[in-house]
Structure 1
Amino acid sequence: MKLSDLAALPLTYPDVGATASTPPPGYHFLRRTSVIGCGRERFEQAAAAGMRFGMLRGAGLRVESTTPTAEEGTDVLGHLGPVSAPCRVVYVIDEPDRRGFAYGTLPGHAVRGEELFLVRFDHATDQVIAEVAAFSQPAAWWSRLGAPVTSLMQKVIAGRYLKAL
């Protein structure tokens, strides 16, 4: 699969944007957070890296994208070894104390669903917090067959995302 092939593909799930609120029923849900530093400067640095797909790259994925930073509609092709994960950015958060994006799966991905990558600044504690949230269900026969392994891998990768920034 090539990055240029993704533009014509539809998202593979109906609940677009649901990582911004309550996860839809019928999906496996994951939310992880980690304090990654303190201070406004650290927030700005981590947020900028996150918007350049830094959580993905730092977790060991090779990332191809149609724009250098996450924008709504950006197509993303992540590669982890021989596995490719085609996705599209479905929304962007660009607020003074919260920055990030969510992308949704496209045909050819092992699961169907959405994943949020967010960096936020907590004024009360001066902490910078990285957050990953996702809802998914198997989309390929092999991911259905290996659902427990797929779920474990998602948790491992989420931990790697948080350490990446």
Structure 2
Amino acid sequence: MTRLLSSLSRRERPRPALTYPEVGATRSPAALPEGYHHLRHTAVVGHGRAAFEAAGAAVTTWRMHRASGARVLADTDRAEPGTAVEVSAGVGPLRIGVPCSVIWTAYEKDRTGFAYGTVTGHPECGEESFVVALDHDGTVRFTVTAFSRPGVWYTRLAGPLVPLLQRAYAHHLGRTLRRLVRT
């Protein structure tokens, strides 16, 4: 009942608009849209079904992001389309929060994850997915796929620094997820 009420109140609230037209493009990472910086990072995080399930749960319940040092405010406990998410990093007045909305999810036998897209108020425009896959040989891979471009003056001014920071954060998430799967 509480979940139903939470779901209804979420639907009734006005949602910030997505800031890019290629919604869902990270679902097919081979064809990311032109005109954006592209990011693809894959890390092996474990081996076997138990590692896959642990990694998938950590990704879709925001645990991976939180364990990486980010603060996550989400209006659901688990990623589902339409979930409003704000990920922030920094300390005190230097904390920067970036609002997003979950675009798609995958809760499949050998693939688990989600993508969120930027909404009004985010300094970038684009989408990012976080997917865990179980290969036929039992290898568990975590992949971050993203496309983005500056959305405000200060990210345009930062130029190539933003993609470098995004790549470093993707690597950090892979290391964090590997650690979570091992514990």
SS in structure 1 of the partner of residue 160 of structure 2 = helix
Cα separation, 2, equivalents of 1:70 and 1:8: 16
Cα separation, 2, equivalents of 1:143 and 1:122: 37
Which structure 1 segments of 5+ residues have no match?
A: none
SS in structure 1 of the partner of residue 50 of structure 2 = helix
Cα separation, 1, equivalents of 2:120 and 2:88: 15
Which structure 2 segments of 5+ residues have no match?
A: 1-9, 178-183
Name whichever structure is richer in strand by fraction.
1
Match of 2:151 in 1: 139
Deviations 1:85-120 (A, max 9, x none): 100000001110000000000111111000000001
Match of 1:61 in 2: 70
Among 17, 24, 46, the alignment partner of 1:17 is 24
Cα separation, 2, equivalents of 1:48 and 1:136: 26
Q: Give 1 or 2 for the bigger CA radius of gyration.
A: 2
Q: Does 1:148 align with 2:160?
A: yes
Q: Normalising by the residue count of structure 2, what TM-score does the alignment of the two structures yield? A: 0.84
How large is the Cα RMSD of the aligned pairs? Answer: 1.3
Match of 1:35 in 2: 44
Cα separation, 2, equivalents of 1:133 and 1:115: 6
Instruction: List structure 1 runs of 4+ shifted beyond 6 angstroms.
Output: none
SS in structure 2 of the partner of residue 109 of structure 1 = coil
- What is the letter of the counterpart of residue 87 of structure 2? G
- What is the letter of the counterpart of residue 66 of structure 1? D
Match of 2:181 in 1: none
Q: Does 1:105 align with 2:118?
A: yes
Cα separation, 1, equivalents of 2:14 and 2:146: 22
Cα separation, 2, equivalents of 1:55 and 1:49: 5
Cα separation, 1, equivalents of 2:88 and 2:143: 21
- What is the letter of the counterpart of residue 169 of structure 2? I
Among all aligned residue pairs of Structure 1 and Structure 2, give the percentage whose two residues are the same amino acid.
Answer: 45
Name whichever structure is richer in helix by fraction.
2
Among 91, 96, 109, the alignment partner of 2:109 is 96
- What is the letter of the counterpart of residue 12 of structure 1? T
Deviations 1:16-42 (A, max 9, x none): 000012100100000000111101111
Question: How has the CA–CA distance of structure 1 residues 103 and 62 changed in structure 2, closer, same or farther, with 3 Å as cutoff?
Answer: same
Match of 2:6 in 1: none
Match of 2:3 in 1: none
Among 83, 95, 119, the alignment partner of 1:74 is 83
Q: Normalising by the residue count of structure 1, what TM-score does the alignment of the two structures yield? A: 0.93
CA-CA distance at 1:7 after TM superposition: 4.3
